[in-house]
Chains A and B, each alone.
Chain A
Amino acid sequence: DTEVTQTPKHLVMGMTNKKSLKCEQHMGHRAMYWYKQKAKKPPELMFVYSYEKLSINESVPSRFSPECPNSSLLNLHLHALQPEDSALYLCASSRGGMVLSGNTIYFGEGSWLTVV
């Protein structure tokens, strides 16, 4: 099983809403990531969790709040977003806690977010 599952697949939210994106993997991976991808652009790293601890925050605005409840789950809480935050949000995971070093990174199908 090399699957990273993301829900929901599509989300439309207003600028005053609070919503969450969810990600799950059962591969025993100990590093999990959130990426943001705008149309026709490569993915951009937002956050990295290693052994359930936040290890990288790429200067992401506080309206995005990550959470890692356990080694299999990763959430991204959204509040007071702007229309320019509309994008594909990708979750990924890799084996081991040494993030990115020598390990294949597996991506989910993504959550399409539209902020209106």
Chain B
Amino acid sequence: KQEVTQIPAALSVPEGENLVLNCSFTDSAIYNLQWFRQDPGKGLTSLLLIQSSQREQTSGRLNASLDKSSGRSTLYIAASQPGDSATYLCAVSYSGAGSYQLTFGKGTKLSVIP
């Protein structure tokens, strides 16, 4: 059974700092990995999708990397801003129990202090 772990559970940084969020998964046979952002009481916003054949994806100040063989992904946020404060979730899609599955980590709650 695929398990997804996100470290740290919570992170507080001053505005302007660069930061890294970590995601690890136990089964490397994945189709893709997706990073989401969730604001309190809101739905999930897709940030970046990395296919299993890719090593990284970039969007603005965000860069996500994937090392499938070691079961790890990182989300790098450059020059953090208070508006980046949210919970960040990673999710991996894979084939399990005869059907496609999407498993989420528990998330990292990020607070960017002005």
Question: Is residue A78 contacting chain B, with contact meaning CB distance below 8 A?
Answer: no
State whether A42 and B89 are in contact (beta carbons under 8 Å apart), knowing that A101-B100, A102-B51 are contacts in the complex: yes
* Segment at the interface with A among B11-19, B62-70, B75-83, B103-111: B103-111
Q: Chain A 99-116, CB within 8 Å of chain B: the 1/0 string? A: 111101111111010000
Q: Beyond the given A55-B99, A107-B46, could you list 11 further A-B residue pairs with CB under 8 A, ordered by the A residue number?
A: A4-B43, A42-B89, A42-B104, A42-B107, A100-B93, A102-B93, A104-B34, A105-B34, A106-B46, A107-B36, A107-B44
**B:67-99 near A, CB below 8 Å:** 89, 91, 93, 99
Q: Which of A42, A48, A90, A108 contacts B106 (CB 8 A)?
A: A42
Interface of B is mostly: strand
**A:59-98 near B, CB below 8 Å:** 88, 90, 92, 98
- What residues of A have a CB within 8 angstroms of the CB of B32 in the complex? 102
Query: Contact: B105 with A42, CB < 8 Å?
Result: yes
- What residues of A have a CB within 8 angstroms of the CB of B42 in the complex? 109-110
Question: Is residue A45 contacting chain B, with contact meaning CB distance below 8 A?
Answer: yes
| Complexed CA–CA distance, A90 and B46 (Å) | 14
| Complexed CA–CA distance, A61 and B89 (Å) | 26
- A interface residues, tally (CB under 8 Å): 25
Question: Is residue B102 contacting chain A, with contact meaning CB distance below 8 A?
Answer: yes
Q: What 5 pairs between A and B have smallest CB-CB spacing?
A: A42-B104, A107-B44, A100-B100, A109-B43, A100-B93
Question: Is residue B2 contacting chain A, with contact meaning CB distance below 8 A?
Answer: no
Question: Is residue B28 contacting chain A, with contact meaning CB distance below 8 A?
Answer: no
Question: Is residue B41 contacting chain A, with contact meaning CB distance below 8 A?
Answer: yes
Q: Which of B49, B105, B106 contacts A104 (CB 8 A)?
A: B49
Query: Contact: B106 with A41, CB < 8 Å?
Result: yes
| Complexed CA–CA distance, A90 and B41 (Å) | 11
- What residues of A have a CB within 8 angstroms of the CB of B31 in the complex? 100-102
B78 to chain A, nearest CB (A): 22
